[in-house]
Chain A
Amino acid sequence: MAGAYIRGVGLSCALGEDAESCVSAMQRMQVRAVRLRLDEFDEPLQMPYYRIPDRSELFDAGRFERLLPPVAHAAVVQAGLTPEEIHRLPMFIGSSCFSIGLSESRYASALVQQPETAIPMPLCGYQDIAVILQRTLGCKGDTYTYNTACTSSANALLAALRMIELGWYRHALVVGAELANRTTLAGFSGLQVVAETLQPFDAARKGLLMGEGIGAVVLSAETDSANRLRVIGGASNCDTWSVTTANTDGNSVAKVLNQALHQIRVQPQQVRGIKAHGTATPAGDTAEALGLRQVFPSLPPVSVLKPYLGHTLGACCVNELILYAGALLYGFLPATPGFETPDPALGVQPITTPEPAPDGHYLLNHFGFGGNNTVLALEKIAP
């Protein structure tokens, strides 16, 4: 079992603008959603939203370039990489929005100023995150940009891990980025899956709440004795039952969980905790819960982190990994705000108060549109 060590992290989300304060806020069970209103439609859209608490206007076109670099920089600094290592650092990026917000702003401005020449999608943004980070960090390494909906940064991280294991790279920067944009907010509203409150695995759950977050992780083949967290593997598969959700019989979720356990050579009873995907949509939680119960005759403590930062979509893996890993280092398993009433059809009850986090193996679940299911495995190493 090779794996890669988590050597540096950076995070900006609704909980705060650095990783340490975010984990502390989560330990205090801080939940801070704001009320969002989009007036431009016939019927204004309103919803709770977990925004990064910077002071700028939510759809400010400069926000994308302003918020990304400090997060990645924090991860690289904490990793203690040499200038030469930073220079050759490859980037693995996962996002479902990229620079779409900036593209929307430019198109909207052009429609006002020069409507006859305005072109929609003025930016083809898949590469924009990599370009900004290469410029600001001075990295020249290979870039891989993943767009597999809500598993984007999970799959980016899995690829980074595997290429490190092959010896192609010694270190890798993995970035998840989701910032507020009208396409995502209106798109999910159109799907009618947005709720007023977030209640993962609860009998009364009605849907998801969105949020924004930028997370960055430096994975490394090398470590020092102080480093106690290692990503040890994972698995990914595709369920073609529906383009928007895994099969509600739980079979494809169970399959990817079993693949991950098989790959890391760990039995279900050895798993110390699970970070569930837990979108709180009726179908999504059903698929995840039934899959978990197929694999785990007795479930280890389950935590859902979306009540703290919202569903950060393509960035959710890296953002939630940083929070969960931080909690493990602090010695606690995160509680799940919003869960109150168990759903007997699910049989999964997330923990509602923090519990001790022993050394050992942990699983992190991610599921996304396009049938993508990805599970990552993390090890907290004994000192």
Chain B
Amino acid sequence: MIKLVSASHYLQPVYDHAALTSLETALRGLCREPFRRIDRFIQLALLGSANCASGRKLRPDCGIYLGSGLGPIGNNVVTQEQLIRDLEIPKPFNFINTLGSSAGFYVARNLGLQGQNFFISRRGASLQAVLNAAMADMLLGFATQALVGVVEEVALPLDAHRLRQHLSQDILLAEGSHWLLLQSGASDSRSLDLKRFAEFAALEGFLKSAWRTGDRLCCTRSMETHAAKTMQQGFDAGALSGPTSAFHDSLEAAWLAAFAVSREPGTLFLVDGHPERGWSLFYLGA
């Protein structure tokens, strides 16, 4: 049985013509050493992971599973400007931080971890990708503890950030860092389960049998519209209110982390899939 030991949830809307919120003061109390040459994506990862682990001594082999749709986009923008516009060789730390795995390195160093450390992306569903990977490793015994996080950064200016994601210019953007600490066999904690279904009818049948008043349902953005509507009509529509009206590429992670942090009763069901590839259902129970 995989249990949720703790969670952290950082979601910050970014308004037009406003600066990004400085994270340095918050990080000062969370990092055991002053990291230099880190970018905002790494800062967001450090903030979320340290808050999630707060007050707990993690197992040294705790795995890190970091997901993101866009990764360190702010640093990548700077690096590409240096290279293509300014015709300069990228600075070493800018180049190294273009890799998604650099953030995992600093998270591991800050928390004293030496286990597996993965950066995984799936546009619009990075949470599902990292949860699948973490749960596979835990089910097979390759990790008894897993720090699962999803981080999305905003690169200014906002109009460019919207353009590169093909978003309309009136969408409110957000940054996020959402983390779950999972552990095999921990008691007195919510359980996190995963079921996979080849057919939509089987998924629907399972949900109907498991559904209790007050439960929440979240359909991922990547789901086919028809399937999502069918799901929503079949269950309590009130369950669909999310934690924000602002957008980033991994909003499902914000839903899940916000629910976990809130300690509200009931179960959150997170549905993902497609008629042609099958369906997955993560559920965070009472």
- A-side interface residues toward B, CB under 8 Å? 40-42, 45, 87-88, 90, 96, 103-104, 107-108, 111, 118-124, 126-127, 130, 140-149, 155, 159, 162-163, 165-166, 168, 182-183, 186-191, 236-240, 243-244, 252, 255, 263, 368-372
Contact A121 to B80, CB < 8 A, known contacts A149-B99, A159-B133, A371-B105: yes
| Cβ proximity bits B79-112 to A, threshold 8 Å, 1 near / 0 not | 1110111011111100110111110110011000
Whether A126 lies near B64 (C-beta < 8 A) is: no
Contact A145 to B114, CB < 8 A, known contacts A122-B164, A187-B90, A370-B104: no
Residues on B with C-beta less than 8 A from A107 are 80, 84-85
Residues on B with C-beta less than 8 A from A146 are 118-120
What are the 6 A-B residue pairs with the smallest beta carbon separation, nearest first?
A370-B101, A187-B95, A238-B117, A127-B123, A126-B121, A140-B276
What are 15 residue pairs bridging A and B, where the CB atoms are less than 8 Å apart in the complex? A42-B87, A88-B276, A107-B84, A120-B81, A126-B68, A127-B121, A127-B122, A140-B276, A146-B119, A148-B117, A182-B83, A183-B98, A190-B92, A369-B102, A370-B101
Whether B95 lies near A370 (C-beta < 8 A) is: no
The listed residue (B81, B113, B117, B137) touching A370 by CB distance below 8 A is: B117
**How far apart sit A240 and B113, CA to CA, in the bound complex (Å)?**
8
Residues on A with C-beta less than 8 A from B129 are 142-145
Whether B98 lies near A238 (C-beta < 8 A) is: no
Whether A111 lies near B114 (C-beta < 8 A) is: no
**How far apart sit A119 and B113, CA to CA, in the bound complex (Å)?**
38
User: Is B160 on the interface with A (CB-CB < 8 A)?
Assistant: yes
Interface residues of B in 39-63 (CB under 8 A from A): 61
Q: Name, among B91, B99, B132, the residue most crowded by chain A CB atoms within 10 Å (CB to CB).
A: B99
Beta-carbon nearest neighbor of B74 in chain A: A121
Residues on B with C-beta less than 8 A from A124 are 69-71, 73, 123, 164-165
Number of B interface residues, CB 8 Å? 61
User: Is B13 on the interface with A (CB-CB < 8 A)?
Assistant: no
**How far apart sit A378 and B274, CA to CA, in the bound complex (Å)?**
34
Residues on B with C-beta less than 8 A from A237 are 61, 114-117
User: Is B139 on the interface with A (CB-CB < 8 A)?
Assistant: yes
**How far apart sit A189 and B92, CA to CA, in the bound complex (Å)?**
9
Residues on B with C-beta less than 8 A from A182 are 83-84
Whether B164 lies near A168 (C-beta < 8 A) is: no
The listed residue (A104, A118, A126, A148) touching B101 by CB distance below 8 A is: A148
Whether B77 lies near A144 (C-beta < 8 A) is: no
Residues on A with C-beta less than 8 A from B98 are 183, 187
Whether A369 lies near B140 (C-beta < 8 A) is: no
Residues on B with C-beta less than 8 A from A243 are 96, 102, 105
Kindly list 20 other residue pairs between chains A and B, CB separation below 8 angstroms, not including A107-B85, A121-B76. A107-B80, A108-B84, A119-B160, A121-B77, A121-B80, A127-B69, A140-B277, A142-B277, A143-B129, A147-B119, A148-B118, A149-B101, A168-B136, A188-B95, A236-B116, A255-B114, A369-B105, A370-B102, A371-B105, A371-B108
Whether A40 lies near B140 (C-beta < 8 A) is: no
Whether A190 lies near B90 (C-beta < 8 A) is: yes
**How far apart sit A372 and B69, CA to CA, in the bound complex (Å)?**
21
Contact A111 to B160, CB < 8 A, known contacts A190-B95, A237-B114: no
CB distance from B168 to the nearest CB of A (A): 16
CB distance from B17 to the nearest CB of A (A): 18
Residues on B with C-beta less than 8 A from A103 are 80
**How far apart sit A121 and B118, CA to CA, in the bound complex (Å)?**
23
User: Is B163 on the interface with A (CB-CB < 8 A)?
Assistant: yes
CB distance from A4 to the nearest CB of B (A): 13
Residues on A with C-beta less than 8 A from B211 are none
User: Is B278 on the interface with A (CB-CB < 8 A)?
Assistant: yes
Contact A162 to B83, CB < 8 A, known contacts A146-B119, A240-B105: no
Whether A369 lies near B101 (C-beta < 8 A) is: yes
Beta-carbon nearest neighbor of B276 in chain A: A140
CB distance from A103 to the nearest CB of B (A): 7
CB distance from A183 to the nearest CB of B (A): 6
CB distance from B103 to the nearest CB of A (A): 8
**How far apart sit A239 and B112, CA to CA, in the bound complex (Å)?**
10
User: Is B196 on the interface with A (CB-CB < 8 A)?
Assistant: yes
User: Is B10 on the interface with A (CB-CB < 8 A)?
Assistant: no
Residues on B with C-beta less than 8 A from A120 are 76-77, 80-81, 84-85, 160
CB distance from B132 to the nearest CB of A (A): 7
Residues on B with C-beta less than 8 A from A370 are 99, 101-102, 104-105, 117, 119
User: Is B142 on the interface with A (CB-CB < 8 A)?
Assistant: yes
Contact A140 to B274, CB < 8 A, known contacts A119-B164, A120-B85, A165-B140: yes
Contact A144 to B114, CB < 8 A, known contacts A104-B84, A166-B136, A369-B96: no
**How far apart sit A70 and B114, CA to CA, in the bound complex (Å)?**
38
Residues on B with C-beta less than 8 A from A143 are 122, 129
The listed residue (B71, B79, B274) touching A147 by CB distance below 8 A is: B71
Residues on B with C-beta less than 8 A from A372 are 101, 117
**How far apart sit A106 and B70, CA to CA, in the bound complex (Å)?**
18
**How far apart sit A144 and B118, CA to CA, in the bound complex (Å)?**
11
Beta-carbon nearest neighbor of B72 in chain A: A147
Whether A126 lies near B69 (C-beta < 8 A) is: yes
Residues on B with C-beta less than 8 A from A159 are 118, 120, 133, 136
Whether B136 lies near A369 (C-beta < 8 A) is: no
Residues on B with C-beta less than 8 A from A127 are 69, 121-123
**How far apart sit A127 and B126, CA to CA, in the bound complex (Å)?**
11
CB distance from B133 to the nearest CB of A (A): 5
Beta-carbon nearest neighbor of B94 in chain A: A187
Whether B99 lies near A147 (C-beta < 8 A) is: yes
Whether B118 lies near A189 (C-beta < 8 A) is: no
Residues on B with C-beta less than 8 A from A96 are 99
Residues on A with C-beta less than 8 A from B163 are 119, 122
Whether B92 lies near A183 (C-beta < 8 A) is: no
**How far apart sit A381 and B15, CA to CA, in the bound complex (Å)?**
60
CB distance from B120 to the nearest CB of A (A): 6
**How far apart sit A45 and B88, CA to CA, in the bound complex (Å)?**
11
Residues on B with C-beta less than 8 A from A145 are 120-122, 129
